[in-house]
Amino acid sequence: MQNIGVFAWEQVARNQFASVLRRAGLLNFAAQLKFVPLWLLLCYLILLNKPIWLLLPACFNLWFALGFFKRYRLMLDTPHSFISHSAQGYVSLRGRALLPAGESVRGLVNLPVTLWIPGYIEDQPFVLDDGHGRCLLYPRQAEIITSPADTYLDWLHAIYPGQELYVLGDMRTLKADNHQPIRHRMAELLSRWKLKPKVLLEAYDTNGNGRLDEEEWQEVCKTAERVAQEDLLDEQPAVGTHVIEQPSGGRLFMITNLPPARLAHRYRRAMWMHSAAWLGLMAIVYSASL
Amino acid sequence: MTSGLLIFTLLLVGAAVWGIALYNQLVLLKNNTDKAWSNIAVLLKQRNEELPKLITVCKEHMKYEKDTLERVIEARSKVASAMSSGDLNALGAAEDQLRIGLGNLFAVAEAYPELKASQGFLQLQRRITSLEDSIADRREFYNDAATINNVRIDQFPDLLIARPLSFKPYRLMTFSSAEKADVDVAAHFQS
């Protein structure tokens, strides 16, 4: 657990805006309604000076609108999966955030336990439990959109244990290699057993001559083959560790503690708003030039 | 005049970029559906590799159940050929046949205490049953991905890109009528 002094509280608060902006991206800031007055003010100032320069914010509006369109469609078009299905590839998941097994405390001293807090604990993996299974989330390269929890720290953007999360990302299941040929397994077993000749003689020296004859040795080999076969069958159904990571090909890796319906609505609204702003600004520039 | 040209260019760029974004999204949906299918295919392959082992174990004990075993073997080869040809209708039918065959096999196995006690048989039964469950789960995921893709390529404005560029709908993996039918509880209690 990281310790912060009393005065560092101001620093945590100051860091919040920059860190949240860095992890969620400018795009997610532009999706919020509080962005509108700032943008209008900027456009008004440009209009007063050089209206032609309004084409620059118009380009930004187009970029924002495309970004929101991409996110909105991804949320709608990515099939929902359960962790236990272990469907490999790009999936959307919903579940509760938890600390990994063996870890009971994480976060900053004097704060409730937090799994992820921008500016301080950003890269450590945590667990997602969807009621059907568990997977490890590696948030290092994720776009993380948080809203403050309903606590006395209503300014703090963080992910707490037990919070419902929505995740878009690449799911992989790591499995131990269970395709080792049976002959290799047998050879390993036999070389291990040879280290204990007394035990081998006790078990397989049926004629009691103090050594393993050809037939007795064949019996040892048969047992080794059976044990190797059983080991292989035991390993096959073992459930691997599920991991959610940054997808390849530049696809979006998103983690949010906002309800997905609310976030999708926000993206949709922002997409229309910025598309309208793009066209509106171009209309203003055109009329100003006449 | 200059600003008019700039605006016209920006409008063209905007329209082109929207078109590219739509195209990329359709490609992503296609890849998602292909990936969802490969998720099922890998399990079908694993199960098909386990079945001969099961048949071998059963053959040792079930001398008088040749028909049951042959039906499973036949269904297995039908699944394999349907998978290689990519014919989802044939695959659905073969899967139903295999599921019924396996159900019969496990039911008949109850009458062979030696087989039921065999560790190898029990492990294979567990493994195949678990693979069957996973196939059912992933079939649901595949159907979701395929439905999303099929709806998008028929929707406006996506169809303006999907039709000329020949984006194809995917067939769903349908459930057999036996699986969809209501469970006849009374029948289970008849002697």
For chain A, what is the domain count? 2
Provide the percentage of residues in chain B whose pLDDT is more than 90. 18
On whether residue A83 sits in a domain, the answer given is yes
What would the two tokens of residue B2 be? 């200059």
Which residue would you say has higher pLDDT here, A4 or B122? B122
Question: Amino acid letter at B27?
Answer: V
Which residue would you say has higher pLDDT here, A217 or A109? A217
d(CA A72, CA A265): 8
On whether both A207 and A278 belong to a single domain, the answer is no
On whether residue A1 sits in a domain, the answer given is no
Check whether B175 has a pLDDT greater than 60.
Answer: no
Confidence (pLDDT) at A233: 64
On whether residue A3 sits in a domain, the answer given is no
On whether both A47 and A143 belong to a single domain, the answer is yes
Instruction: Choose, out of A132, A233, A251, A289, the residue to mutate when testing the contact with B (most B CBs < 10 Å).
Output: A233
On whether both A74 and A205 belong to a single domain, the answer is no
What residues in B contact A62, CB-CB < 8 Å? 10, 13-14, 17
On whether both A160 and A189 belong to a single domain, the answer is no
The most confident of the ranges A168-182, A206-220, B13-27 is B13-27
Of A196, A215, A235, at which residue does a domain stop? A235
Contact A79 B36 (CB under 8 A): yes
On whether both A186 and A171 belong to a single domain, the answer is no
For A257-270, the pLDDT digits (tens) are 999 999 999 999 99
On whether residue A199 sits in a domain, the answer given is yes
On whether both A220 and A163 belong to a single domain, the answer is no
CA A20, chain centre distance (Å)? 17
What mean pLDDT is predicted for residues B13-27? 92
Provide the percentage of residues in chain A whose pLDDT is more than 90. 36
The domain of A265 spans 9-175+240-289
On whether residue A141 sits in a domain, the answer given is yes
d(CA B149, CA A24): 28
CA distance B123 to chain A (A): 7
Of A192, A208, A235, at which residue does a domain stop? A235
| Mean pLDDT, chain B, integer | 81
On whether both A59 and A149 belong to a single domain, the answer is yes
On whether residue A193 sits in a domain, the answer given is yes
Please, which pLDDT band fits residue A150 given cuts at 50, 70 and 90?
Answer: confident
What residues in B contact A276, CB-CB < 8 Å? none
For A84-134, the pLDDT digits (tens) are 877 888 999 999 999 988 787 888 877 888 899 888 888 888 999 988 888
On whether residue A196 sits in a domain, the answer given is yes
On whether both A79 and A194 belong to a single domain, the answer is no
On whether both A159 and A68 belong to a single domain, the answer is yes
Check whether A240 has a pLDDT greater than 80.
Answer: no
On whether residue A264 sits in a domain, the answer given is yes
Helix (H) or strand (E) holding A113: none
On whether both A267 and A154 belong to a single domain, the answer is yes
On whether both A146 and A268 belong to a single domain, the answer is yes
On whether both A105 and A244 belong to a single domain, the answer is yes
Of A235, A251, A277, at which residue does a domain stop? A235
What residues in B contact A79, CB-CB < 8 Å? 32, 36, 141, 144-145, 148
Verify cis geometry, omega within 30 degrees of 0, for the bond prior to A112. Answer: no
CA distance B111 to chain A (A): 24
Please, which pLDDT band fits residue A2 given cuts at 50, 70 and 90?
Answer: low
Complex prediction ipTM = 0.76
What Cα–Cα distance (Å) separates residue A5 from each residue in A17, A165, B47, B63?
20, 30, 59, 78
CA distance B118 to chain A (A): 12
What mean pLDDT is predicted for residues A192-196? 86
